[in-house]
Structure 1
């Protein structure tokens, strides 16, 4: 396993008495799974939680997250301790169920945006109605010029998954938004 790396360090940005908090997320195992939707249940048995069948839907249990980001594509997060078991399980599934499981853990960084102003902060840098996004859902989208995966883990808690190379850019955008919030702009 490679050393944990995040291009933003461990800095946390907080403003307005905790109305907005931006921090590096934990570093889970991350996978992109492509599989025939008819075989979703077989993949769910290997991963350990149900894989949602609707684009944008998300399931979470036992520290794992499965987000449907396309008609035959899921973004999977799991505790690092179970990474090898997941890879082994999908390798054993391959002879009977063709699929593609790609470890994207060394490509991505997670950022948590939380607090009562979290949706407002994200709305200022995203081109869709963040407030209309239900808790327990997610999407692949663009933040300014960077592709991200946005997960709404709770009413006031979001997780951004972004490529390492775009992380400093996304982090600076979010810091600028927090500065605007703090100054009342």
Structure 2
């Protein structure tokens, strides 16, 4: 029998004067794969220029995109916008070879914010968080789990984590919150 210790419902999971960990509402997300020459037509359909530098982000309204590799992007949108993106990108099929995969049900987003947020991330992230500029994102590992970490501000981060690994990542983050609050 599998026991899931968290209900995985959006909301604040832990809050101290210096730190907050929240599970964000569900969003639409897609993996978009295409050759570099397809970035301009795909960008027109999505409503913004696709960044070509790994880790670079773009946003337009509720849509965001991050370049994860030389031919790979993660597109995030409001859940209600998923069908529009699918239909728009489908119009490229005849002229731009691509793959668009809906990952919406696979991942959850955890928001970590506060003056000790960066310190909390060092508990499971082998990279120096300060090396990630505000407004960028990285696919990386967090305690052995593949995640995409978005740096939204000096003290605000998002972690996209596979739903199956979310209990592990949340346990580590919540334990870290308690340890930092006690210290």
**Which secondary structure state, in structure 2, belongs to the residue aligned with residue 134 of structure 1?**
coil
**Which secondary structure state, in structure 2, belongs to the residue aligned with residue 135 of structure 1?**
coil
Q: Distance in 2 between matches of 1:95 and 1:136?
A: 34
Paired residue for 1:9?
9
Paired residue for 1:23?
22
Q: Distance in 1 between matches of 2:100 and 2:70?
A: 15
Paired residue for 2:80?
81
**Structure-2 change in CA distance of 1:7 and 1:65 (3 Å):** farther
1:20-77 deviation per Cα after TM superposition (whole angstroms, max 9, x unaligned): 1000112111000001112111111111122111001111221111100111000110
- C-alpha contact 2:10 2:25 (8 A) present in aligned 1: no
What is the CA-CA distance between 1:83 and the residue it aligns to?
1.0
Q: Distance in 2 between matches of 1:7 and 1:167?
A: 10
Paired residue for 1:94?
93
Paired residue for 2:3?
none
Q: Distance in 2 between matches of 1:109 and 1:45?
A: 27
Unaligned ranges ≥5, structure 1: 1-5
Paired residue for 1:152?
151
Q: Distance in 2 between matches of 1:56 and 1:132?
A: 12
Paired residue for 2:117?
118
Paired residue for 2:38?
39
What is the CA-CA distance between 1:123 and the residue it aligns to?
1.6
**Which secondary structure state, in structure 2, belongs to the residue aligned with residue 93 of structure 1?**
coil
Q: Distance in 2 between matches of 1:51 and 1:7?
A: 35
TM-score with structure 2 length normalisation? Answer: 0.92
What is the CA-CA distance between 1:13 and the residue it aligns to?
3.3
**Which secondary structure state, in structure 2, belongs to the residue aligned with residue 12 of structure 1?**
strand
Determine if the alignment matches structure 1 residue 133 to structure 2 residue 159.
Answer: no
Unaligned ranges ≥5, structure 2: 1-5
Paired residue for 1:182?
181
